[in-house]
């Protein structure tokens, strides 16, 4: 058998194609009606992505009958799995009561109460349809509150499709006055405030950069941001759309730093569309007309009954503190074991992350070859090496994946 170094990408792609003729045909049809054959760019990889037919338990099955263990977890949104029973049953019941309301209802009160009880920084909360929307609203609120325009963000940060900074600011970004500096750079951060102490409305930061490679904030970095924001009258925003899964009270609990505003999304509605932003009540009062608030938040589906019902089911029936701790401990073991395998076999690979979020790093084309090698053996991770464990991934599956990696690395 050829070693990994001897196999070319052309050979890998040809093997992939030969096992997926129906996915190839579907890709051709998709390209006729959707540019690139998809409407979520991150899901594309060469030579074409497989098309899922069914998803059950930890597995995906494509239209050609190939089965994969899903280690990607829908980029953290699939924490509960593909079709969590408690959420499915609750949403099915809600469907019977009517689901296009155009009015307030009591379920959103319970969802908001559960979130404010769970995350330390949330005194009040408002809902959106996605984490992207939540971040947009949080930035708008910070600019309104401070009367300032400038936003401090970090290189390789990702806060949604219109708030992306890897490797540089995206042409799709909204036109805020951004200052983008290196993540975990204490000196650059201090300099940014020193240069314009009265101009920075907000700092937006992921406690662990997700799309940027699962890079955690350096010890003391978030506390430094907290101090600088306090000294300069700026709003500190934690984007916890991904990282809120890292502890019962999110990364803010894990890292013992409280932001002024927190944004949420992804897994909290059990896989349904969801977003939220919240924090200090005095900031959120800008949306309260009885308190003279001047801001209005639109969004037809912000409080849709299905997502609100799913949030309640997720937080009351599934994601207990013990469950959250267990999945993150499992992720830590996975990452530590991966690095042991890479080191023992002199592979130029490294796994980074925190808890149930992991990224595998390597130069190209090594990472592409690794991705396809794992896919060929029935393991689905992100093309860029990202892994987000779901509750469906057992210790036995982790051991089996590590065995596959060990065999691949030792050839």
Task: Reply yes or no on whether 22 is catalytic.
Answer: no
Residues 70 and 91 reside in one and the same domain:
no
Which domain does 193 fall in, by range? 85-318
pLDDT digits (tens, 9 = 90+) for 127-171: 999 999 999 999 999 999 999 999 999 999 999 999 999 887 789
Taking a C-beta distance cutoff of 8 angstroms, is the pair 217, 239 a contact? no
* pLDDT one-digit tens code per residue, 19-65: 999 999 999 999 999 999 999 999 999 999 999 999 999 999 999 99
CATH number of the CATH domain containing 35: 3.90.1150.10
Asked whether residue 1 is assigned to any structural domain, the reply reads no
Helix 85-95 × helix 305-313 angle, to 10°:
150
- 55 lies in the same domain as 148: no
Confirm whether 158 is a catalytic residue: yes
- Identify the active-site residue in 16, 62, 266, 380: 266
**Average pLDDT over the chain, rounded to an integer:** 97
**Cα(238)–Cα(263) distance, integer angstroms:** 6
User: Which pLDDT score, from 0 to 100, does residue 2 have?
Assistant: 44
- For 255-278, the pLDDT digits (tens) are 999 999 999 999 999 999 999 999
Task: Please indicate, yes or no, whether residues 265 and 332 belong to a single structural domain of this protein.
Answer: no
Query: If 0-12 CB within 10 Å is exposed, 13-18 middle and 19+ buried, where does residue 110 land?
Result: middle
- Domain end marker among 291, 318, 345: 318
Active-site option among 27, 62, 70, 239: 239
Q: Indicate if 137 and 240 belong to the same structural domain.
A: yes
Query: Can 19 be counted among the known catalytic residues?
Result: no
The pTM for the full model equals 0.97
Please give the DSSP secondary-structure letter assigned to residue 279. E
Note whether residue 2 is domain-resident. Answer: no
The domain boundary, picked from 274, 289, 318, lies at 318
Arithmetic mean of pLDDT, 213-218: 98
The percentage of residues in the chain with a pLDDT greater than 90, rounded to a whole number, is 97
Would 234 be classed as within a structural domain? yes
- Classify residue 144 as exposed, middle or buried by CB count within 10 Å of its CB (0-12, 13-18, 19+): middle
pLDDT tens for 285-326 read 999 999 999 999 999 999 999 999 999 999 999 999 999 999
pLDDT(1) > 60: no
Is residue 175 situated within a structural domain?
A: yes
Q: For residue 197, name the pLDDT band (cuts at 50, 70, 90).
A: confident
Residue 3 falls within a domain, yes or no? no
When pLDDT is cut at 50, 70 and 90, the band that residue 6 belongs to is low
Please tell me the predicted confidence (pLDDT) of residue 4.
Answer: 52
Same domain, 23 and 53: yes
* Together in a domain, 141 and 185: yes
204 within domain boundaries: yes
Q: Taking 90 as the threshold, does the pLDDT of residue 3 lie above it? A: no
Please state, in angstroms and rounded to a whole number, the distance separating the CA atoms of residues 344 and 68: 27
Q: Are 175 and 213 members of one domain?
A: yes
* Alpha carbons 202 and 214: distance in angstroms, whole number: 23
pLDDT tens for each residue of 220-250: 999 999 999 999 999 999 999 999 999 999 9
The enclosing domain of 277 has a CATH number of 3.40.640.10
Alpha helices in 260-320 (DSSP H): 281-284, 305-313
Looking at the structure of the chain, the number of domains it has is 2
In a domain, 372, yes or no: yes
Structure tokens at 196: 């314009």
- Which of 16, 68, 75, 158 is catalytic? The answer is 158
Question: Domain boundary at 292, 318, 344, which?
Answer: 318
Q: Give the bridge partners for 261, in sequence order.
A: 237, 279
Q: Note whether 72 and 97 are same-domain residues.
A: no
Q: In this structure, are 394 and 273 located in the same domain?
A: no
Query: Does 5 have pLDDT greater than 60?
Result: no
In a shared domain, residues 237 and 303: yes
Answer whether residue 188 is part of any domain: yes
Residues 304, 330 within the same domain:
no
Residues 182 and 286 in one domain: yes
Q: Is 200 strand, coil or helix?
A: strand
- Burial letters 2-23, b for 16+ CB under 10 A, else e: eeeeebeeeebeeebeeebeeb
Burial class (CB in 10 A: 0-12, 13-18, 19+), 147: exposed
Place of tokens 């190939």: 66
pLDDT of residue 316: 98
């Amino acid at each position: 058998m050829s070693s990994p170094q001897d196999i070319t990408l052309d050979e890998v792609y040809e093997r992939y194609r030969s096992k997926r003729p129906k996915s190839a045909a579907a890709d051709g049809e998709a390209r006729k009606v959707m540019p690139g054959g998809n409407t979520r760019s991150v899901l594309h990889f060469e030579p074409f992505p497989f098309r899922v037919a069914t998803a059950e338990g930890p597995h995906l099955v494509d239209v050609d009958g190939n089965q994969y263990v899903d280690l990607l977890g829908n980029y953290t949104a699939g924490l509960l799995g593909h079709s969590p029973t408690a959420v499915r049953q609750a949403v099915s019941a809600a469907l019977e009561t009517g689901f296009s309301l155009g009015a307030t209802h009591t379920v959103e009160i319970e969802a908001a109460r559960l979130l404010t009880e769970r995350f330390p920084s949330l005194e009040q909360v408002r809902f959106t349809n996605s984490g992207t929307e939540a971040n947009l609203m949080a930035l708008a609120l910070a600019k309104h509150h401070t009367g300032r325009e400038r936003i401090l963000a970090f290189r390789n940060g990702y806060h949604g499709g219109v708030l992306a900074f890897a490797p540089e600011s995206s042409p799709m970004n909204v036109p805020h006055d951004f200052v983008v500096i290196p993540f975990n750079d204490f000196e650059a951060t201090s300099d940014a405030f020193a240069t314009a102490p009265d101009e920075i409305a907000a700092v937006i930061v992921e406690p662990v950069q997700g799309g940027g490679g699962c890079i955690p904030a350096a010890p003391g970095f978030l506390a430094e941001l907290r101090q600088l924001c306090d000294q300069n009258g700026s709003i500190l925003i934690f984007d916890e759309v991904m990282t809120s899964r890292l502890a019962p009270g999110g990364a803010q609990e894990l890292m013992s730093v409280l932001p002024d505003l927190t944004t949420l999304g992804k897994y909290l509605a059990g896989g349904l569309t969801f977003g939220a932003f919240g924090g200090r009540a005095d900031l959120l009062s800008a949306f309260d007309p009885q308190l003279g608030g001047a801001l209005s938040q639109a969004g037809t589906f912000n409080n849709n009954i299905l997502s609100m019902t799913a949030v309640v089911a997720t937080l009351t029936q599934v994601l207990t503190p013990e469950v959250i701790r267990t999945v993150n401990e499992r992720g830590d073991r996975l990452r530590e074991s991966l690095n042991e395998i890479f080191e023992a076999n002199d592979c130029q690979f490294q796994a980074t992350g925190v808890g149930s979020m992991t990224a595998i790093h390597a130069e190209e084309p090594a990472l592409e070859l690794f991705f396809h090698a794992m896919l060929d053996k029935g393991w689905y991770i992100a093309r860029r090496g990202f892994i987000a464990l779901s509750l469906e991934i057992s210790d036995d599956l982790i051991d089996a994946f590590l065995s596959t990696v060990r065999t691949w690395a030792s050839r």
